[in-house]
């Protein structure tokens, strides 16, 4: 066995989040939200916030480590890191980077954080209102392709065409998130269930995405604290050990979302190679996974991500992606058990990672029985993508 592995060497020991808000409705500054999520994670872990010695984030988070370290009175900052990639593609990558820092001895206690206050800083799902655009943007924006839904819709459309996947598969993914959100008081869509009829009657955003295929935009913050496996065992929470992680891209996927159309493998979430490395490091197979949190900026991404993580063949999608298979506690592959980006909160996937950890601890509001292996898949479609597996002590 290669020694160059994260397997069993690091654990998530603290998770924290603020109240999740609809976009632009946070009553506090983004930086304050970020601090509060970090403090909540410290309190959950039972550690002094000043003992954090590393910060890792993704998606160009605006809350920089020096500002956080100064504000929190961190004794000694030893590690700071930003994972490349847009949206939540890098969420598991940030967790992997934090893990690697701990394994390599660069740091002992790293917090992964993400905070969003879109009232303060502007929305994601809005088009560029500029008179002229250069470079690759000029190849798509003048045609009215300018939002994430519009960039990614043709990817899902092509995959669905190639493999005869119908709208019902996307609907089941959306309904699983909304189903689980009804048990989760943190979820923004708590108390707002989704029915098949409501989905079918909802307006199109960009075909094949209905309104309910698209994530929310939210304000709030989330944080996860990682320490070495040895130290994790002395802390107050059941550790969720990192079993494996991977990040990257497939061949020649353009960096700009505005030239998404040029990716040679268009109908893809770009996890094909990543997922293989993930399972190799974890020494596991898809069949070993008990529960999945899979980033849904759009349901089409989940469809392709699940296929590329080996849970079913593309041609089996219509059989597999049925609501009864996707819901806790009885489903074959419970999916997005907190409500996910669609119905809990779009914290660029960090909420999904917290949920993956809670499933290992047995603390989910839609708990799957006896979880040993819990998968957290980062944002699809805009690489570098990333993915991570957590496990219980029994998996080591």
Partner 1 sequence: MSNYSIPDGSPSKPGKESKGTASNAKYYLPAGMPAPLAEPAALFGPYWEGTRNELLKVQRNPETGVYQWPPQWIAYDTQSFDLEWVEVEARGLIYSWTRVWHPIHPAMKDAVPYLIVVVELPHAGGVRMLGNLLGDPLQDVEIGAEVEAVFEHHNDAEPPYTLVQWRAST
* 226, β-bridge pairs: 12, 110
Is there binding between residue 262 and partner 1 (CB under 8 A)? yes
Is there binding between residue 150 and partner 1 (CB under 8 A)? yes
Rounded Cα–Cα distance for residues 215 and 193 (Å): 15
Rounded Cα–Cα distance for residues 262 and 258 (Å): 9
Contact 246, 275 (CB under 8 A): yes
Closest CB to partner 1 among residues 207, 324:
207
CA neighbours within 13 Å on the CB side: how many for 105? Answer: 0
**Enclosing H/E stretch for 204:** strand 204-206
Is there binding between residue 161 and partner 1 (CB under 8 A)? yes
- When binding is defined by CB under 8 A, the residue of 259, 273, 283, 363 that contacts partner 1 is 259
Is there binding between residue 255 and partner 1 (CB under 8 A)? no
Residue 295 is a catalytic residue: yes
Q: Residue 282: which of 202, 375, 154, 377 has the closest Cα? A: 375
Asked whether the bond before 162 is cis by omega within 30 degrees of 0, the reply is no
Q: Which of 137, 190, 199, 295 is catalytic?
A: 295
Residue in the block written with tokens 């089996």: 316
Contact 294, 337 (CB under 8 A): no
Is there binding between residue 147 and partner 1 (CB under 8 A)? yes
Residue 279 is a catalytic residue: no
Is there binding between residue 158 and partner 1 (CB under 8 A)? yes
Is there binding between residue 122 and partner 1 (CB under 8 A)? no
- When binding is defined by CB under 8 A, the residue of 29, 66, 128, 396 that contacts partner 1 is 128
Is there binding between residue 149 and partner 1 (CB under 8 A)? yes
Rounded Cα–Cα distance for residues 181 and 365 (Å): 9
Closest CB to partner 1 among residues 109, 153:
153
The interface mask with partner 1, positions 190-219, x = CB under 8 A, is -------------xxxxxx-----------
E strands in 259-395: 291-294, 373-377, 385-391
Is there binding between residue 146 and partner 1 (CB under 8 A)? yes
Closest CB to partner 1 among residues 206, 227:
206
Closest CB to partner 1 among residues 1, 130:
130
CA neighbours within 13 Å on the CB side: how many for 170? Answer: 27
Query: How many residues bind to partner 1 according to rule CB under 8 A?
Result: 44
Q: Which of 20, 199, 346, 390 is catalytic?
A: 346
Cα–Cα separations (whole angstroms), residue 211 to 56, 187, 298, 324, 349 = 32, 18, 10, 22, 19
- When binding is defined by CB under 8 A, the residue of 93, 267, 339, 379 that contacts partner 1 is 267
Distance in Å, CB of 152 to partner 1, minimum: 9
Stretch that binds partner 1, among 7-15, 73-81, 132-140, 272-280 (CB under 8 A): 132-140
What residues make contact with partner 1 under the rule CB under 8 A? 125-147, 149-150, 153-155, 157-158, 161, 203-208, 252, 254, 259, 261-262, 266-267
Active site amino acids:
295, 346
């Amino acid at each position: 066995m290669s020694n160059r592995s994260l397997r069993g060497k690091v654990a998530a020991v603290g998770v924290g989040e603020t109240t999740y808000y609809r976009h632009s409705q946070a009553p506090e500054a983004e930086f304050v939200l970020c601090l509060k999520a970090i403090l909540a994670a410290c309190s959950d872990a039972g550690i002094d916030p000043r003992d954090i010695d590393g910060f890792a984030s993704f998606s160009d988070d605006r809350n920089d480590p020096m500002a956080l370290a100064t504000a929190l009175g961190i004794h000694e900052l030893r590690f700071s890191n930003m994972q490349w990639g847009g949206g939540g593609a890098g969420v598991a990558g940030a967790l992997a980077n934090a893990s690697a820092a701990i394994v390599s001895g660069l740091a002992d206690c790293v917090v992964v954080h993400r905070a969003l206050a879109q009232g303060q800083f502007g929305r994601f799902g809005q088009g560029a209102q500029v008179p002229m655009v250069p470079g690759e943007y000029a190849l798509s924006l003048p045609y009215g392709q300018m939002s994430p839904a519009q960039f990614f819709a043709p990817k899902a459309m092509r995959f669905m065409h190639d493999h005869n996947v119908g709208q019902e598969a996307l609907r089941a993914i959306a309904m699983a998130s909304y189903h689980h959100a009804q048990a989760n008081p943190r979820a923004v869509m708590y108390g707002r269930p989704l029915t098949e009829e409501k989905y079918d009657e909802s307006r199109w955003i960009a075909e094949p995405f209905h309104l309910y295929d698209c994530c929310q935009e939210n304000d709030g913050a989330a944080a996860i604290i990682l320490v070495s496996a040895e130290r994790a065992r002395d802390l107050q929470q059941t550790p969720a050990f990192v079993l494996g992680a991977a990040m990257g891209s497939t061949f020649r996927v353009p960096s700009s979302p505005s030239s998404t159309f040029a990716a040679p493998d268009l109908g893809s979430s770009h996890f094909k190679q990543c997922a293989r490395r993930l399972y190799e490091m974890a020494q596991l197979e898809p069949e070993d996974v008990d529960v999945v949190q899979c980033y849904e900026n759009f349901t089409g991404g989940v469809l392709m991500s699940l296929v590329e993580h080996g849970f079913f063949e593309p041609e089996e999608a219509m059989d597999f992606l049925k609501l009864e298979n996707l819901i806790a506690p009885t489903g074959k592959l419970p999916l997005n058990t907190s409500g996910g980006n669609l119905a809990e909160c779009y914290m660029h996937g960090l909420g999904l990672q917290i949920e993956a950890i809670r499933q290992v601890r047995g603390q989910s509001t839609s708990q799957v029985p006896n979880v040993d292996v819990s998968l957290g898949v980062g944002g699809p479609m805009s690489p570098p993508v990333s993915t991570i597996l957590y496990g219980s002590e029994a998996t080591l």
